Amino acid sequence: MDYQRPNGRATAEDVANLARRAGKLAGWAARTGFELTRKLPGIDTAERGLRQVERGLLSELRRRLDEVDDPYHAALAAASAMNRSDSTGRVVEASVMLVPSRAHTEPLRAAMAELLNHSISFGRDRAREYLYAIILRQLTPDEARILAALSDGSPFPAVDVAERTGIGGTGRTVLRNASTVGKAAGVALPDQVPAYLTRLIGLGLVDLDEEVPALETQYEILLTDETVRAAEEQVKRCKVIRRTVHISRFGAQFWHACDPSLG
């Protein structure tokens, strides 16, 4: 389906439609435990097809998000337009003028001016939508899958691997935020789950909490993970710090706004 508008720009409806389609794929796979059915006949072919469609949708979604309400993109477009001349040698007027004359030489300043303009004109709902769109644009497909897996509020085990000091304390940390949530979500890059979770925590979408004894079996499984075992081999004396990972209050609000099943 072609989402290109005559003027080459994306609309909010375009982005919403793409987000719903991409989110349905990620959310469905995470909630139904897609990876558990891999042994069924023909499932490898089905999974490859799912991945291909998902990648295509998310790539298109990211491209559209890059064009919607991005002040730096608009500033560069304005600069480019002001630096073009028509056949008579006259400068073509920019379709988007953010700040007088300086935009073509200082797009960063023009972008900041646009953000400040937004801070005046945006209401509460529009400001929230803008915030969520900016966060959504930063997520990778695997991170979207993890967030979908966490969306029901369930905790998953997480561990840090650190070096134990001579007096029983904690030295340098060689691995942070390893977790079983990546496999549960069916991510494409399981070894990158610690990085994914670190990014999601940084965005405020995911929180770390104390160890949950009821998840003991899952902790034991996590300790056999190749990434965790490789980290343990980097130190002479290993100390494993157990935690849990779950969606944050802000993450739950973000997911509610983006949840494709509610669209």
**How would residue 118 be classed by pLDDT, with cut points 50, 70 and 90?**
confident
90 has pLDDT over 60:
no
Quote the pLDDT of residue 233.
93
Polymer length in residues for the chain:
263
Highest mean pLDDT out of 64-68, 83-87, 124-128: 124-128
* Per-position DSSP letters for 100-121, written without gaps between them: TTGGGT-HHHHHHHHHHHHHHH
Between CA 144 and CA 225, with CA 252 as vertex, the angle to 5 degrees is 50
Quote the pLDDT of residue 230.
95
Q: Which CATH architecture has domain 139-258?
A: 2-Layer Sandwich (3.30)
Distance CA 246, CA 49 (A): 30
Quote the pLDDT of residue 16.
52
Question: Alpha carbon 11 to chain centroid distance?
Answer: 21
Each residue's pLDDT tens digit, 208-259:
999 999 999 999 999 999 999 999 999 989 999 999 999 999 999 999 999 9
Q: Domain limits of the chain?
A: 139-258
Each residue's pLDDT tens digit, 63-82:
555 555 566 666 556 555 54
Q: At what angle do helices 141-150 and 12-31 cross, to 10 degrees?
A: 60
> 70 or 11, which is more confident?
70
Across 8-17, 101-110, 170-179, 228-237, least confident range? 8-17
Structure tokens at 33: 């435990």
85 has pLDDT over 50:
no
Average pLDDT, the chain: 76
Each residue's pLDDT tens digit, 35-52:
444 444 454 555 566 666
CB 67 within 8 A of CB 7: no
Quote the pLDDT of residue 13.
52
What pTM was computed for the model?
Answer: 0.66
Quote the pLDDT of residue 242.
97
